[in-house]
Chain A
Amino acid sequence: MPSAPAPTPATEVRRDGAAPRKPARRFDPHRFGPVIGLVLLLIAGTALNPDFATWDNLMNVLTRTAFIGIISIGMCFVIISGGIDLSVGSMAALIAGAMILLMNALAGSVASPVAVVGLGMLFALLLGGGFGLAHGYLVTRGRIEPFIVTLGTLGIFRAVLTWLADGGAITLDNDLSDAYGPVYYGSLLGIPVPVWVFLVVSVAGAVLLNRTAFGRYVQAIGSNEQVARFAAVDVDRVKLLTYGLLGVCVGIATVLYVPRLGSASPTTGLLWELEAIAAVIVGGTSFKGGEGRIAGTVIGAVLLSVISNILNLTSIISVYLNAAVQGCVIIAVAFLQRRRP
């Protein structure tokens, strides 16, 4: 029995020490579970439909993954620190609705559509960060379980959006739609803009988690909050910042999402929270906190989109069973990357 908690501090020490990194680079089979799962899926997809492996299809899949992927990276920090955020889907919907309303209102007084869109984007990031910090504040100062705080705001955000939209859809003005369109539909060097943004956020997330004091604190708090407190880590501030960071990630995702359909409705972002959490967990991050990986999270998010893409490109399985196939793949990948006790 006493042997159970022992490995945690051991791995902790190893990760924290910057110098003795090399010995840790042994091949670790369960660490590659998500990669193995993704490769198997890619092979299966190509075998089932030759159009699967085309550049256009792969770019479609990566572009649509960008929203969930960016949110998952923020979610990864929150989960590693031992928290959770159930509200991200509703938050994205409310930010989308609010920014469209703001841009439509500004369109009357500000002449340049590009300036209006820029202001709208800035507003989305600020609003996201603000919502995130509010969560963090309620969790740390308010001492309420993150599950409860975000369960509450999940309802609040979506209800406010539904109220703003009068139950229907909030739609962006046509002129603004044209100016904003390239943010989703445009591409740079043949790669769509959302994929670039996804890449930048991923790299920034990985650097922040693995190469900065903040990243180490996040992992230390998730591993053992009391020990981190004794080690003079400002636990409340770090936790507050993880929620703020996630909020900004939701803001970025929304900025990319709005030009896709140019509208927000009460079904926008439905169940995104579960997709984001699934991506993080499938990617090998421990649900209990303490450790996790950004690269794994990115692969997890891509993997989830690839499953539904393959199901859409084939018709061998009854459409009623789509969710069952997705569930099986998620469990299989989690099995591949499971930890030995």
Chain B
Amino acid sequence: MAATVALGCALGGVAFAADTVKLGVSIPAATHGFTGGIVWWANQAKAELEKAHPNLKITVKTASGAPEQANQLQDLVTVTKIDSLVIFPFESAALTQPVLQAKKKNVYVTVVDRGLTDPSAQDAYIAGDNTAFGRIPAEYIAKKYNGKANIVALRGIPTTLDNERWEAFTGVLKQYPDIKILDGKYANWNRDDAFKVTQDFLTRFKDIDVVWAADDDMAFGVLKAIEQAKRTDIKEVFGGAGSKTMVKTIMDGSNPLIHADVSYSPKFIYDAIKMTAEARLKGDKLPATHIIPSALITKENAKEFYFPDSPY
């Protein structure tokens, strides 16, 4: 009898403001700078939101692979009995079924960044803007160098996400016949690989204006390789994602090769958790798709993108 009443309340809670919200957060483990930031921002959201809303309970789980994440998801639904979920899927295809199973058990699902292969498995989708991540630096370079420059590019790990950025970047620059992309190689979003790839680019090309490092971690390796080779032809290194060290460098103007960056902050997990929790507490729904815009970071606005306590 009590069980029936409880079930009725739980179902009713979808339409009306919920008494309590049990929110599960499932994210990749901190294995590199960016995911380190994701984990930090998720815990930040838990601390702030649980303090602000006593009837909100957030459980954060980190996974180091798709199968582990699927298992954790099962535990969140059956053991923790969550009613809402914010998930940053490790892999799109592998997590689609597990998320769908959760949704079938009346869990409200917000998917972050890496989408699922079947959008019907989610209630809302919140992501960074990968097209803008490639488009903004291309437009910036084209404008700053008056449509004439030699560029070498570093790419991440071969993934659809990387392809999206690369196509946006090259797509813009196709309109400028005097801008040459000399070559683009994978450096796996890794400092060491970026160092080596840049060394080889510097051996191969005698005249480079801009290096599009496409990531702040990689930009770090690029800068070291340029410094070692004592090259003076390179005017600019453009990273990406707005890590705190890079934003600080732009604020201080402390490196003559660094002038701008494009934001793709791991803070979007914080936004996703906050939006989901607050909407659920009110009994609202989120818009189906919410893209967190990427913005050009320059000396003028760098302060807004600087979070000194975040590890990234």
Chain A residues at the B interface, C-beta cutoff of 8 Å: 49, 51-52, 54, 56-57, 60, 64, 162, 165-169, 171, 185, 260-261, 263, 265-268, 270, 308-309, 312-313, 315, 319-320, 322
Which of A64, A260, A270 is the one whose CB lies under 8 Å from B224? A260
**A260-B195, A261-B192 given; A322·B186 CB < 8 A:** yes
CB <8 Å contact, A166 and B197: no
Which residues does chain A contribute within 8 Å of B189, judged by CB atoms? Answer: 267
CB <8 Å contact, A167 and B312: yes
Query: Could you tell me the distance in whole angstroms from the C-beta of A169 to the nearest C-beta in chain B?
Result: 6
Is residue B191 within 8 Å, beta carbon to beta carbon, of the partner chain? Answer: yes
Which of A51, A57, A167, A267 is the one whose CB lies under 8 Å from B191? A267
Closest to B224 in A: A261
Chain B residues at the A interface, C-beta cutoff of 8 Å: 29-33, 35-37, 39-40, 155, 158, 183-186, 189-192, 195-197, 199-201, 203-204, 217, 220-221, 224, 228-229, 245, 310-312
Query: Could you tell me the distance in whole angstroms from the C-beta of B144 to the nearest C-beta in chain A?
Result: 26
Can you give 14 contacting A-B residue pairs, CB < 8 Å? A166-B311, A167-B37, A167-B311, A168-B310, A168-B311, A169-B33, A169-B217, A261-B220, A266-B36, A267-B191, A309-B196, A313-B200, A315-B183, A319-B186
Which of B29, B30, B220 is the one whose CB lies under 8 Å from A166? B30
CB <8 Å contact, B191 and A166: no
**A167-B311, A261-B220 given; A268·B30 CB < 8 A:** no
CB <8 Å contact, B203 and A168: no
CB <8 Å contact, B30 and A162: yes
* Measured CA separation A266–B158 after assembly (Å): 20
* Measured CA separation A193–B165 after assembly (Å): 39
CB <8 Å contact, A166 and B221: no
CB <8 Å contact, B217 and A265: yes
Query: Could you tell me the distance in whole angstroms from the C-beta of A214 to the nearest C-beta in chain B?
Result: 33
Query: Could you tell me the distance in whole angstroms from the C-beta of B252 to the nearest C-beta in chain A?
Result: 13
Which of B36, B184, B191 is the one whose CB lies under 8 Å from A165? B36
* Measured CA separation A162–B220 after assembly (Å): 19
CB <8 Å contact, B36 and A49: no
Closest to B183 in A: A315
CB <8 Å contact, A167 and B192: no
Which residues does chain B contribute within 8 Å of A166, judged by CB atoms? Answer: 30, 36, 40, 311
Query: Could you tell me the distance in whole angstroms from the C-beta of A151 to the nearest C-beta in chain B?
Result: 15
Which residues does chain A contribute within 8 Å of B29, judged by CB atoms? Answer: 162
* Measured CA separation A321–B189 after assembly (Å): 18
**A60-B203, A263-B220, A309-B200 given; A168·B186 CB < 8 A:** no
